[in-house]
A and B are shown apart, each in its own frame.
Chain A
């Protein structure tokens, strides 16, 4: 038991199971989503999840360079995950790290099942993810933002992809770990799902959990994903509702004036 508890010197939970930031075990961090934040990109999205801040930009479908990477039957989806030098406590070297390359691959693979790549043979769809401030769970937030950016670019999708992590802190299963909980907890389990059919497109784990704890954490993460999915839908629709409202306000003002 001592071993499973790990080397946690920091207490992450109070007596009544509240976390360091005052959240309950099954509570998400406050999330702010925005779409269409960049005018140069074909599609873009911004997410703030707790203290994490991430921008995602989509270009394409467009011609693929270098040409030899082109696939004759479908488009190539390329996600690039990068962290700003100032995104973490200690300055991150601006050179692409092993971790960034790995996360780029993982994010690409968790988004690819949702995209109709067959519609654009030989072309490429590029997703650039820039972490401006990192506070744990950035791979999940990145997937959430990237899927919004893809939808904003008008790329045909089978479904949105929503992602959220669960984990184990002080021996208890908790939703949406922050950086300090991730580093001092016993396990972290990032999950991405396509909510319509509840298909899992990302499932990773590090740390220690029993089979029962794993199932509990997975189910909790899926619940978190579904909450995030509702927010994604809302923000995509709201962008256009806002313009409609603005326009009808203007015209009613004019009617009053005339």
Chain B
């Protein structure tokens, strides 16, 4: 039983991480009793689990995630929504309205049309079927106004910070409303363009420097500059 890395060391695909009684976590794979890294990222060990926090990567839908997406197609009884992942999401009216919808009388376009931006929650996803979305909770639904900022989905946890420390700081310092989609799309709306621009700059810095320490303080400095 041995670890072959220092905590938070940068590793690349194929690097040997651990041998023996460890368990492979995200960003790793097992061959025999050895665990290797499968991505470029920071290696960590949590108890018995060895994992690599990837620097880059596409968004893989996960049930329970709040995402921001764009309506790309309206069918008779469903919406197709692009959530910037390899799999297009589907949303059915039962997961939007309390009442039943009559597809002969009701036109789905009256509620969400092609091009509309939505905040929605992923109900289920298992790689064999398209992810299903719902807007049946508080704070979910159509977005109006504001800015959409795209960032790497792998850096979203850093934007939120430990128990929301980073994002709460940004909200407080700039007075902007911010909604984070786990798929790497962030909606920003503030009183003035300057406020919004400060948030966007902060997001860009977090994206670039996510793997460094003392980031919250540097972002605060940037906002006040």
Binding site for B on A (CB under 8 A): 42-43, 60-63, 75, 114, 116, 120-123, 151-160, 194-196, 232-233, 236-237, 240-241, 243-244, 247-248, 250-251, 254
Contacts and interface: CB of A to CB of B under 8 A. Distances in A.
B29 A247 contact: no
B80 to A, nearest CB: 11
Quick one: which of A42, A153, A157 has the most chain B CB within 10 A? A157
Nearest to A236: B12
Contacts of A151: 12-13, 39-40
Interface residues of B, number: 29
B36 interface: yes
A42 B58 contact: yes
B88 interface: yes
A154 B211 contact: no
B169 interface: no
Contact of B10 (A63, A116, A237): A237
Contacts of B56: 42-43, 152-154
Contact of A195 (B14, B38, B57, B214): B14
B128 A194 contact: no
A160 B39 contact: no
B10 A123 contact: no
B58 A62 contact: yes
**Secondary structure dominating the interface of A:** mixed
B4 to A, nearest CB: 13
B127 interface: yes
B25 interface: no
A237 B214 CA distance: 20
A241 B214 CA distance: 16
B218 A157 contact: no
A152 B14 contact: no
B70 to A, nearest CB: 14
Contacts of A114: 13
Contacts of A42: 56, 58
Contacts of A243: 208-209, 211-212
Contacts of A196: 14, 16, 36
B55 A154 contact: yes
